[in-house]
Amino acid sequence: MVFLSDFLLFMTGACWGSFLACWCGRLRRGEKISRGRSHCEGCGRTLRGPELVPVFSYLFLKGRCRSCGQRIPRQDFLCEVGFGLLALVLYRRYGLQLQAVWLFAVCLPAGGICLTDLASYEIADAHLFLLGLLFVPGSLAGWCVYWAEGLFSFLVLDGSILLLSRIMQKLLQKEALGEGDRILIALMGLYFGICQASAGLLAACLAGFVLLALRRQERIPFGPCLVLGFVLLLLS
């Protein structure tokens, strides 16, 4: 029974991961989220029953469309697995508490930021807005900082990062930090206050250096590094 309940919990989380991957894919392609049922990006065929089962459909189809052989993005599969595992971890730690549902909900737009930034160096306004909105119930319930401290930290961090990025832009003669990254740093302040957000930012910078070394490119998506710092603070 424990195995069955864990499996169902994992699949519930994976379904949300699948929805998020589909949403991010549509954002990247400039499609509306309400644009019909899930379909293959290559041939446009509408996916049927078993092809819609998260995690397992990818494994059975060996990561390709059954009709045209188009590759299914690996990050979509990882997103499904990641949110399935997250549901299990949160359940083990918090049980059936509302806080677990809230933490899971906060991780959804955070995951969306990772997916879109990794794929296209873009952070969607919708994900940032959702992340900001979820602060309200979290703050009222006492799961993150009091709203006044959060708002103050948001404004201070937003202002200082804006100033810093303008100075760096002048010195480097190119954009040093995207607007989405700046708002994400400010949102870290909103949720955790300036001190904790600074620790999260430090973790993000370390992750950024690692990513820079691994990718060996001049430009890296900084959103996933910030999300890592954010999630570490969220779950610590």
- Which residues contribute to the site for Zn ion (CB under 5 A)? 40, 42-43, 65, 67-68, 70
Shortest gap between Cβ of 81 and Zn ion (angstroms)?
Answer: 22
Toward Zn ion, which CB reaches closer, 44 or 142? 44
Toward Zn ion, which CB reaches closer, 69 or 159? 69
Instruction: Characterize 113-134 residue by residue with b for buried, 16 or more Cβ atoms within 10 angstroms of its Cβ, and e for exposed.
Output: bbbbbeeeeebbeebbebbbeb
DSSP letters, 19-52, are HHHHHHHHHHTT--TTSSS-B-TTT-PBP-GGGG
Toward Zn ion, which CB reaches closer, 28 or 64? 64
Shortest gap between Cβ of 46 and Zn ion (angstroms)?
Answer: 10
- Residue type at position 211: L
Toward Zn ion, which CB reaches closer, 47 or 168? 47
Shortest gap between Cβ of 29 and Zn ion (angstroms)?
Answer: 15
Q: How many CB atoms lie within 10 A of CB 33?
A: 11
How many Å apart are CA 113 and CA 181, to the nearest integer?
10
Residue pair 22/108 in contact (Cβ under 8 Å)? The answer is no
Half-sphere exposure of 221 (CA within 13 A, CB side): 15
| CA dihedral sign of residues 86, 91, 93, 94 | positive
Shortest gap between Cβ of 65 and Zn ion (angstroms)?
Answer: 3
How many Å apart are CA 90 and CA 150, to the nearest integer?
24
Toward Zn ion, which CB reaches closer, 71 or 92? 71
Toward Zn ion, which CB reaches closer, 28 or 66? 66
Residue of 201, 200, 224 lying closest to 212 (CA atoms): 224
The residues pairing with 69 across neighbouring beta strands, listed in sequence order, are: none
Shortest gap between Cβ of 171 and Zn ion (angstroms)?
Answer: 48
Shortest gap between Cβ of 60 and Zn ion (angstroms)?
Answer: 15
Shortest gap between Cβ of 47 and Zn ion (angstroms)?
Answer: 9
Toward Zn ion, which CB reaches closer, 41 or 158? 41
Give the chain's end-to-end CA distance (angstroms, integer): 30
How many Å apart are CA 116 and CA 55, to the nearest integer?
20
